[in-house]
Structure 1
Amino acid sequence: MARTLALLHTSPLHVPVFDALRDEAHPGLELRHFVDEELLGRARAEGPAAVADDVRAVLRRAVADGARAVLCTCSTLGGVAEAAAAGAGVPVLRVDRPMAAAAVAAGPRVVVLATSGSTLGPTVALIEEEARRAGAPVEVRTRLVAGAWARFEAGDTQEYVRMVAAAADTVTGADAIVLAQASMTPARHLTTATAPVLSSPRPGLAAAAAAVGLR
């Protein structure tokens, strides 16, 4: 049986990122990408719950297409996707959960960086959930990288990543710095921050590969 994983993206820029990670670490994994850029725009304007029906529709299409699990790569929609798992018939994972668990394990002082304000609430809630699960204390601080999202939307990913890295460089008093969105991942290679800088694509894809039976 094919080891097929469906990925729900809200930007086409994530497709080559996850394809490259698959080629590097999970060559037996077949990826099928479902991209819907409008979902994030509506979720930012109306709240994630407003697109719950649309997310469930994507999950149904993915399962009908042969997916053995679905990975939501959008942090804003991760909770909505997980909530829809009960009716999906296959595991539904959010890409940032393994990252959140790693942040809690790193220590109680976690700083969350985001470029979209809609991501902050879901990410903080996820980290606090993982802390309760681990029985560990956590204090989460947040910082929105002002102006960065406009650069991403304009296609200027180089400046976008530079702005994220510069924001990470200014963080102090943290045991871990969380890059809340998958699009922020390249900033890990530019920042000079002394605290661990965590991103979601690699550990998230690894968890999804395990969910379809490929380790």
Structure 2
Amino acid sequence: MTPGAAPAPLALLHTSPVHVPVFDALRDRHRAGLPLTHVVDPALLAAARAGAGAEELARSVAAALGPALAAGTGAVLCTCSTIGAVAEGLAAELGVPVLRVDRPMAERAVAAGRRIAVLVALEDTVAPTLGLIREVAERGGVEVEPRVRVVPGAWERFESGDTEGYLAAVADEAVAAGPVDAVVLAQASMAAATARMTARGMTTGGVTAGSAPVPVPVLSVPVLCSPESGFLAAVELLKAPRRRRGRDPASPAGEARSRGGAP
């Protein structure tokens, strides 16, 4: 980016509108003034859940991002874990960097240790999330033991608008994960549950500060969620030079797409 020039917009590809205010708040906190282009297309997740192939999904993702690319976006952040690999696989073709929001989270999880609890609200997210964690581990030359926990009833609560019930179910499942080195919250929508894991440890006896209760963390291991780390990594991608369009099958993302990518 030329010094003094206005920053290029960051495009965010969502499959639910609930993510828009989350990333607006992250922008306001970390990069006030950065233009964001929100592309919301629930049909992409619906197609993935219905069994659409990677090539079909790739065409749909590219079409959804078309207006943002035409407007000069500098990078794309895909906030849906289920279609993240397909989106990343389009980077060379689209001519801008594309990042799946959970990649930085996966890197932190692998660095934390071997035993990784992976909480998912939607079973369709299991394969792409495990694939990402294993890819990161393989590249780092380490072994991991991902332990998937599908949160009972969570997605139904999310779809019905019961945010409180959704986050409570996620927090309960995280606390019940057992002895692990890190807990991964696979869906970006789970991020707010981390506060509940501390709040549930509030106590009026034992450790206190005067007469006020002190939050006692329920978990002593990292609880990792994707929105903030993914957003900050995507902002860094805005500094990368814009590439010419044309698929590069030798890239890691290109390899993932050629193998079928996520779901």
TM-score interval (norm. to shorter):
over 0.9
The corresponding residue for 1:111 is: 117
The alignment status of 1:150 with 2:176, answered yes or no, reads: no
Report the equivalent of 1:86. 92
The aligned runs of 1:29-178 (5 Å cut-off) are 29-47=34-52, 49=54, 50-178=56-184
Cross-structure match for 1:208 = 234
Indicate whether 1:3 and 2:29 are aligned: no
How far residue 137 of structure 1 moved from its aligned partner, in angstroms, is: 1.5
Who is 1:15 aligned against? Answer: 20
Task: Find the partner of 2:222 among 185, 189, 196.
Answer: 196
Q: Deviations over 1:24-81 (max 9, x none)?
A: 0111421110001111112112146242210111233221122000000000010000
The unaligned stretches of length 5 or more in structure 2 are: 1-5, 198-217, 241-263
In structure 2, C-alpha distance between the alignment counterparts of 1:131 and 1:150, rounded to whole Å? 32
**SS of corresponding position for 1:56:** helix
Cα distance in structure 1, aligned partners of 2:53 and 2:103: 17
In structure 1, the residue corresponding to 2:50 is in which secondary structure?
A: helix
CA distance in 2 between counterparts of 1:164 and 1:181 reads 10
Q: What SS is found at the alignment partner of 1:46?
A: coil
Question: Shift in Å at residue 86 of structure 1?
Answer: 1.5
Larger Rg: 2
Amino acid at match of 1:205: F
- Normalised TM-score (structure 2): 0.79
- Tell me the distance in 2 between the aligned counterparts of 1:48 and 1:75: 16
The DSSP-based 3-state class of the residue aligned with 2:99 is: strand
Q: Give the residue type in structure 2 aligned to 1:210.
A: E
- The answer to whether the 8 A contact 1:82-1:94 is kept is yes
Identity in percent: 54
Which residue pairs with 2:215 in the alignment? none
Partners of 2:219 and 2:178 lie apart in 1 by: 8
Q: In structure 1, how many angstroms separate the alpha carbons of the residues matched to 2:91 and 2:115?
A: 31
Q: Provide structure 1 residue ranges, at least 5 long, that are not aligned to the other structure.
A: none
Cα deviation, residue 85, structure 1? 1.1
Letter in 2 for 1:29: L
Residues 29 and 209 of structure 1 are in contact (CA less than 8 Å); yes or no, is this contact kept in structure 2? Answer: no
- How far off its partner does 1:7 sit? 0.2
SS at match of 1:143: strand
Q: Is the 8 A contact 1:69 1:211 kept in 2?
A: yes
Q: Which runs of 4+ in 1 moved over 4 A?
A: none
**Structure 2 CA distance for aligned equivalents of residues 135 and 112 of structure 1:** 20
CA distance in 1, matches of 2:231, 2:20: 12
The residue type paired with residue 200 of structure 1 is S
- Give distance in 1, aligned partners of 2:220 and 2:122: 24
| Cα distance change on mapping 1:47 and 1:114 into 2, 3 Å | farther
Partners of 2:167 and 2:193 within 8 A in 1? yes
Residues 179-210 of structure 1: CA distance to partner in whole angstroms, max 9, x if unpaired? 00100001111122222110000000001100
Greater shift in the superposed pair: 71-80 or 50-59: 50-59
**In 1, distance between residues paired with 2:93 and 2:34?**
24
Instruction: Number of aligned residue pairs: give it.
Output: 214
Measure, in 1, the Cα distance between the counterparts of 2:16 and 2:234. 19
